[in-house]
Amino acid sequence: MCWPLSDIVKSSKDNEKKVLWIAIVIFLPVLGPILYYLLGRK
């Protein structure tokens, strides 16, 4: 769970999107990182 969080914090997304993705990764510990790598990254 640490890798997606550090990737989100380092990204150039605006703060609202960062907070949303961080919440998704924290509250959905298995599905959240998968969704981030499939949908959130460029």
pTM assigned to the model: 0.83
Structural domain contains residue 5: no
What's the rounded Cα separation, in Å, for the pair 5 and 36?
10
- Which tokens is 7 given? 């990737």
Structural domain contains residue 8: no
Structural domain contains residue 31: yes
Range of the domain at 23: 14-42
Structural domain contains residue 26: yes
What's the rounded Cα separation, in Å, for the pair 8 and 12?
8
Please enumerate in sequence order all residues whose Cβ is within 8 A of that of 4, keeping only pairs 6 or more positions apart, or say none. 21, 25, 32, 33, 36, 37
pLDDT mean for each 10 residues of the chain (42 residues): 89 94 94 93 77
Structural domain contains residue 35: yes
Total domains in the fold of the chain: 1
